[in-house]
Amino acid sequence: MKIEDTVAVITGGASGIGEACARRLVASGAKGVAIIDMDAERGNRVAAELGERAMFLQVDISDEAAVNAAVEAAVARFGPVGALICAAGIAGPAKLVGFKGPIEMSKFDRVIKVNLYGTVHMMRACVPSMQSTEGNADGERGVIINIASGAAYEGQIGQLAYAASKAAIVGMTMPLMRELAASGIRVVTVAPGAFETPIYEQMPPETKQGIIDKFLFPKRLGQPDEFASFAEEIIRNPMHNGRDYRFDAGNILMPQ
């Protein structure tokens, strides 16, 4: 798929790897990029810096109606969606049974609703738009890049809800690819490791360094633009389909 012909919708696009994807796609000539996020200050700033081929929409992706309205607004401005990158997510750390007792189900539900339901809401809203296009010479009409996490495979203690939500995203990849193949829509899931994002910026320096010390190579956190480079490759190369990619330099986080 040519970036120059693509309208991209990116959740979590106001910071971290989502922001990096938005910046890279605009720089690579994307027709339009819709940045979806809850952080209006950062989202509006990023969209303003990127210019007329970017727009910001403040949306809680756990809200189905709000997602539908946002995608409609993006299509009205730029045209049919060609690429969806679902980078938004929340951590919601909690043990099954902590010192205050069993996990509050409202906390578990919130993580599932944002990370899992939010991803499904976005796909439900964007896929019909992709299907409405004629497609390229291969019949390709769109690509979905869902973001999981290493926690989908080796969740740390206290990542019960987060790991469950990300494992579910991994589990959706193959059935979605098989279903949407007839429409020329590819589905890929990427599970990034530790990247230089707001979560790690808020971490005490000694804790952050302790994580890095256990890495093999390179001995640093990943850079958001390194992820964005891989996302661009997935969009451009039609052979990326139906797979879950670990993008973590071979590093596995410790149990806690």
pLDDT in tens, 147-176: 999 999 999 899 999 999 999 999 999 999
Is residue 254 over pLDDT 90?
A: no
Q: What is the DSSP string of 78-132?
A: H-S--EEEE-------B-SEETTEEPPHHHHHHHHIIIIIHHHHHHHHHHHHHHT
pLDDT confidence of residue 208: 82
pLDDT confidence of residue 167: 98
Please state the pTM of the whole predicted model. 0.95
Q: Which residue has the tokens 């798929």?
A: 1
The contacts of residue 155 (CB under 8 Å, 6+ apart) are 162, 163, 166, 167
Q: State the Cα–Cα distance between residues 25 and 125, nearest whole angstrom.
A: 21
Where does the pLDDT of residue 64 fall: very low under 50, low under 70, confident under 90, or very high at 90 and above? Answer: very high
pLDDT confidence of residue 203: 74
Of 143, 165, 141, give the one whose Cα is nearest residue 155: 165
Q: Where are the domains of the chain?
A: 3-197+224-246
- If you average pLDDT over residues 88-109, what whole number do you get? 94
pLDDT confidence of residue 32: 98
Q: State the Cα–Cα distance between residues 199 and 39, nearest whole angstrom.
A: 14
pLDDT confidence of residue 209: 87
Of 135, 161, 230, 250, give the one whose Cα is nearest residue 189: 230
Distance of CA 140 to the CA centre of its chain: 21
- If you average pLDDT over residues 55-64, what whole number do you get? 98
Q: State the Cα–Cα distance between residues 207 and 228, nearest whole angstrom.
A: 26
Q: What mean pLDDT value characterizes the chain?
A: 95
Supply the residues annotated as catalytic: 162
Please tell me whether the peptide bond between 218 and the residue prior to it is cis, using omega within 30 degrees of 0. Answer: yes
Where does the pLDDT of residue 196 fall: very low under 50, low under 70, confident under 90, or very high at 90 and above? Answer: confident
CATH code reported for the domain at 3-197+224-246? 3.40.50.720
Residue 38 to residues 15, 17, 59, 87, Cα–Cα distance (Å) = 10, 15, 6, 12
pLDDT confidence of residue 199: 73
- If you average pLDDT over residues 130-145, what whole number do you get? 96
Of 187, 82, 72, give the one whose Cα is nearest residue 136: 82
Range in 71-75, 162-166, 239-243, 248-252 the model is least confident about = 248-252
pLDDT confidence of residue 206: 84
